[in-house]
Every structure is written in C-alpha cells, then in structure tokens.
Amino acid sequence: MARRPLGSLVLVVGPSGVGKDTLIKGARHALASDQRFVFVRRVVRMPAGIEVEEHDAIEPGAFDSAEAVGRFCLCWDAHDRRYGLPISVDTDLALGKVVVANVARHVVAQARTRYPACSVVLITAEISRRAERLIQRGRENGDQITARLARESPAVPSGINPIIIDNSGGVAIGVTAFVMALRTIAAQD
C-alpha cells in the first residue's frame, strides 16, 4: 500500500501590526474552495469576557488541562498569555494538507523539531504602517504602542530561510503575495 505524503505546516510570523491576521483571513477567503489548505486558529489561555481576534479563547484551567493531556501540538508564551495549536494539525498534515498557523517567532525552533519540513512566512511592514495599524486596533495606549514597536523582535532561527512578504501596502497586494506564497509551498509537496 502506498504511503500518503505528509502535508506542510506553514508558520506565519512577524511583529505586531504587520497584518498577519489580515493576510491569513484574506488567504482563507481566497483559497476557500481549495481543499489543500487548512487555516488553524490558535487557542489562547485567558479568562472569559476578554475579546480576542483570530483566536479561540478558553479559561486558564481548561487550557492547562488540555495541554496536560496532549490536546495541543505546540504551545508557547507571548505577551503575558499562553497559546496553543490544536492537535488536529497532526491529522491535517497526515491527510496531506497545507496547514497555515500564526505563531510567535520564538516557537519556530520547537516547531521545526516536531515538523522538520515546515515552512516559515515572515510578514514585515514599515514601522509607520505598523504604528498606524496598532493605533487603529485600539487595544493599547500610545506608550504601550511605542514600547511594542521598540521591542526587538526575536530573529528567525539560523538555517531557516523564510519567505518574506512586505505588507506595507494595501491589503489586496499583501493577500495576493501571501496566497502566491502558499500556492508555491503547496506545489512543492
């Protein structure tokens, strides 16, 4: 019996305000009819009642229990929160899917250990555009935004050559570039 090829895990990384969630949402819409792609939502550990975008939030106790019994394939801490990717990623990869996930850069090395063939897409944007987007988001005050922009982002681990997308322009341009990158990754399988 022929063995089915494994899919590809695509790790989407980049600093706050570059538009990762926007590009992922646009690509999910553009590729909705292409069954090769799965866009996985991160799970974030936080109390109920706090709104989050592009995540599935669960109470701290439930998150900790899920992590303890292996319901996440990857977990990491960022911005005083704990995040995880559901174990369903493994099933999708076993089915040959291209699984797209927004993660923190410092989890890339851990992900590469578990998924050696994963790809990394690094989203960038000019700092002025990042500042505009963070202000529009409205989650932080001016001092917090300045501190966020001043923080040095961790580098992508050595030996990894990410696909770099500059998302300083309009949404349509960024989404098109991201979709093209995902199709290129899918064609390599």
Closest CA to 80 of 140, 39, 11: 140
Which residue do the tokens 């990717």 mark? Answer: 85
Does the pLDDT of residue 162 top 80, yes or no?
A: yes
Q: What share of the chain is helix, strand, coil (3-state, %, to 5)?
A: 40, 25, 35
Q: What is the pLDDT of residue 143?
A: 76
Residue 189 pLDDT: 62
Model confidence pLDDT, tens digit, residues 94-144: 999 999 999 999 999 999 999 988 999 999 988 888 888 888 877 777 777
pLDDT score for 152: 64
**How is residue 10 written in tokens?**
């695509």
Contacts of residue 162, Cβ cutoff 8 Å, sequence gap at least 6: 13, 119, 120, 121, 122, 156
100 and 40 in contact (C-beta within 8 Å)?
yes
Average pLDDT over residues 78-91: 92
147, pLDDT greater than 80: no
**Using 50, 70 and 90 to split pLDDT, how confident is the model at 4?**
very low
Q: With bands split at pLDDT 50, 70 and 90, how would you rate the model's confidence at 165?
A: very high
| DSSP per-residue string spanning 75-118 | EEEETTEEEEEETHHHHHHHTT-EEEEE--GGGHHHHHHH-TT-
Higher local confidence (pLDDT), 153 or 166: 166
- Please report the pLDDT score of residue 2 as a whole number: 41
Q: Set out the domains of the chain in order of their start, with CATH numbers.
A: 8-188 (3.40.50.300)
Q: What is the pLDDT of residues 35-59, one digit of tens each?
A: 999 999 999 998 766 555 666 888 8
**pLDDT recorded at residue 1:** 40
- The mean pLDDT value for 67-81 works out to 92
Percent of the chain predicted with pLDDT > 90:
60
Whether residue 64 has pLDDT greater than 90:
yes
Contacts of residue 105, defined as CB under 8 A and 6 or more positions apart, other chains included, come to: 13, 14, 153, 154, 155, 156
